[in-house]
Structure 1
Amino acid sequence: MKTILVTGGAGFIGSAFCHYIYNKYPDYRILVLDALTYAGNAKNLPVDICNDFDNERFEFWYGNILNAGLVDALVEQSDFVVHFAAESHVTRSIFDNKLFFETDVLGTQTIANSVGRNTNKVKKFVHISTSEVYGTAVSSKMDEDHPLNPMSPYAAAKAGADRLVYSYWATYGTPAVIIRPFNNYGIRQHLEKVIPRFVTSVLLGEKLHVHGDGLSARDFVHTDDTCRAIDLVLHAEDEKVLGEVFNVGSGVDRNILSLAEDITGLMCKEEECYVKVGDRPGQVMRHTCDASKIREVLGWEPKVSWLDGLQSVVDWYTKNEEWWRDMMWMREIPIITASGKKELH
């Protein structure tokens, strides 16, 4: 039985990965380490941790990634480590940035140090980075050699963690692989993110808030496709992936205005269900993924079509109001713009 340690496994992408592994590999054991911050939810997990204490395939550990002793105790049991744990919201990093550097950089250092002490056991350490490290695109599509120009405290913290992991591979031979997903979407995503915020706004009869002119564009990839990419990396031959960076994205960018129109087209009968608000500081104007490397090396391709994926999200939030109702107060964050104006974003 292989053991996978998943840090941040109660978060959005981390929990999707736990469901994926739990369902696909019945002979794998999953250890989850999560501090259950506002973005983590025990209800996201594939196992009811309150009532299923004796599950031999799944263990949940409540704790902080900065706790080196706890991290060591879990890493030394693990064949694979997949590191999702991070503060992960651009706007929230503008509002309160200290926690982002503590968790994203120092937390990554803690887990990387532990993996380095246990390379006799750990076969692969997969660090989940983000396309936000690139900043605004300087080419039509962004490959793994695109310059890193992070434009928010969150992106800067993730860029630091990303390069820290690479340095551990280069310096110590840590069996690390870095994955840079573009904008993930799917079920069980916190309401601070744009797609669930838009979907729940329509369900609540509110107008959608579109930042600026709505033309900032993102490459959206479904969590199912991201989980398949991580799976391929975990089970690939070492010489193909260790020390490498892989983008994961659809190769199609969609601006926020078109996203609002797609969602309202599925849900709203009025012609205009959105309103424009001030632009967000540190806004990245365009992200489009070049995923040719992971396609050529591992044969990965996105399988979830945009409209099918979006419809599944709409259906899930429509049916699971009890899951998201308690986090409504966190859908918007107060920030001070460069002009000194206070706005909710």
Structure 2
Amino acid sequence: MRILVTGGAGFIGSQFVRGLLTRGTDQVTVLDALTYAGNPANLAPVADRPGYTFVHGDIRDAGTVDEVMPGHDAVVHFAAESHVDRSITGAAPFVSTNVLGTQVLLDAAHRHGVARFVHISTDEVYGSIDEGAWTESQPLAPSSPYSASKAGADLLALAYHRTHGMDVVITRCSNNYGPYQYPEKLIPLFVTRLLDGGRVPLYGDGGHIREWLHVEDHCRGVELVLHKGRPGEIYHIGGGTELTNRELVDRLLAACGADWSRVDHVADRKGHDRRYALCSDKIRDELGFVPQVDFETGLAQTVAWYAEHREWWSRHADR
């Protein structure tokens, strides 16, 4: 299969690409704009593999997308602006990349007859849930400019399926963690600061609850959807481990040999959703997906990776 992976130099996209190329059964083209979170070093382990092509380009550039798209059997669309805090201070890049960029890709995929389009989304499109877990039929109620832009992209993708009959499938995942994650998200931000002897910020009372998914498990789920998912369907990929931010920080402090004296309690983020939780029964029952990376093991491996790869993250001035 010849697969176009957008955002393939980012955290999750690069994990997906490394997995495909390591097995060596697919040809992979990566299309990435190499913004602040896209890093060619993320793909260095597979850069010399047969069947790998890298294209430096923006998904909003219709000309570039139209040149790259022909000949591919599938698009797996990871490319997105994804940091909630950045979307609160400036929403325009999120709307432009996540909504317009997705529309450009869908248009090109339809025009060139691409057989399958997998759109990668997020649990954040649902807003907050007090108890229980969302199913795929839950109405969208995004709280931030980021999640609203992802919800808009989701609706566009489904509209292309319904209007044009395109083979579009959507995945929505819980919070990812693992190696190569840009140090603006909670786990890599806290780990790198703690390893450097610095301080870390905890929003509000620390009671916000997130469900955690190792990036390797996420990519396993995406591959299952790519090959076996039903057209026009949405599949949740959840990790099954729910923690309050305070519980997570306690684990990170212990893993980095630090204590609570290094934590600054800061004002809560605007519109901060209290809890996310996904029901992943559908992907388990239909496609056989079960997370394989135990959270405690995965977190320990992640902390160790950042400790061993200081040269990768120390260059980020905004950490």
Distance in 1, matches of 2:140 and 2:129, equals: 10
Q: Is the 8 A contact 1:71 1:114 kept in 2?
A: yes
**Aligned-pair Cα RMSD in Å:** 1.4
Displacement of 1:144 in angstroms is 1.1
Tell me which amino acid in the other structure corresponds to 2:309: N
1:150 is paired with a residue of what secondary structure? coil
Q: Deviations over 1:102-136 (max 9, x none)?
A: 000000000001111122xx221100011110110
Q: Pick from 240, 250, 265: which aligns with 1:276?
A: 265
Structure 2: distance between partners of 1:67 and 1:208: 38
Among 131, 136, 142, the residue aligned to 2:128 = 136
Q: 2:33 is matched with which residue?
A: 35
Shift of 1:269: 4.7
Offset of 1:221 from its aligned partner?
0.3
Contact 2:201 2:266 in 1 (8 A): yes
1:330 is aligned to 318
The 8 Å contact of residues 225 and 287 in structure 2, kept in 1 or not, is answered as yes
1:47 deviates by 4.9
CA contact (8 A) 1:295 1:301 kept: yes
Q: Distance in 2 between matches of 1:323 and 1:170?
A: 43
Structure 1 residue 115 corresponds to structure 2 residue 104: no
Identity rate, percent: 43
Counterpart contact for 2:213–2:240, Cα < 8 Å: no
Amino acid in structure 2 at the alignment position of 1:95: T
* Alignment partner of 1:169 out of 161, 169, 173: 161
**TM-score, reference length from structure 1:** 0.89
**Rounded Cα–Cα distance in structure 2 between residues aligned with 1:202 and 1:279:** 21
SS in 1 for 2:259: coil
For residue 67 of structure 2, the aligned residue among 73, 77, 80 is 73
CA separation of 1:282/1:169 partners in 2, compared to 1, >3 Å: closer, same or farther? same
- 1:168-207 equivalence runs, <5 A: 168-207=160-199
Matches within 5 A, 1:1-345: 2-24=1-23, 26-47=24-45, 52=48, 56-119=50-113, 122-137=114-129, 139-236=131-228, 240-270=229-259, 272-327=261-316, 329-331=317-319
Provide the C-alpha distance between the structure 1 equivalents of 2:242 and 2:273, rounded to a whole number of angstroms. 12
Q: Residue 208 of structure 1 contacts residue 273 of structure 1 at CA under 8 Å; is this kept in 2? A: yes
CA drift of 1:273 comes to: 3.4
Q: Is the 8 A contact 1:22 1:46 kept in 2?
A: no
Please give the secondary structure, in 2, of the residue aligned with 1:158. helix
**For 1:252 and 1:47, how far apart are their aligned partners in 2?**
29
SS across alignment from 1:221: strand
Answer with 209-218 or 139-148: which moved more.
139-148
Q: Distance in 1 between matches of 2:98 and 2:258?
A: 42
Counterpart of 1:234 in structure 2: which amino acid?
A: L
1:41 Cα deviation from its structure 2 partner: 0.3
Rounded Cα–Cα distance in structure 2 between residues aligned with 1:5 and 1:269:
42
CA distance in 2, matches of 1:317, 1:138: 33
Q: How many Å separate the matches in 1 of 2:222 and 2:235? A: 10
Shift of 1:173: 0.6
Q: How far 1:46 moved relative to its partner?
A: 4.4
Q: Which moved more, 1:261-270 or 1:76-85?
A: 261-270
Q: Name the SS for the 2:314 alignment partner.
A: helix
| CA displacement 1:37-94 (0-9 Å, x = unmatched) | 0010010014575xx5xx5410100011011122122221211110011101000001
| Structure 1 residues 297 and 317: alpha-carbon distance in aligned structure 2, compared to 1, 3 A threshold | same
> Residue 214 of structure 1 aligns to which amino acid in structure 2?
G
Which deviates the most, 39-48 or 295-304?
A: 39-48
- Unaligned residue ranges in structure 1 (runs of 5+): 332-345
Q: 1:299 to 1:108 in 2, by over 3 A?
A: same
Secondary structure of the equivalent of 1:205? Answer: coil
* CA–CA distance in structure 2, aligned partners of residues 197 and 129 of structure 1: 22
Deviation at 1:208, TM superposition (A): 2.2
State the Cα deviation string for residues 135-180 of structure 1 (Å, max 9, x = none).
1015411111222111100000000001110010011011100000
Other structure's SS at 2:27 match: strand
Q: How many residues align?
A: 319
Report the CA distance shift for 1:251/1:136 in structure 2 as closer, same or farther (over 3 A).
same
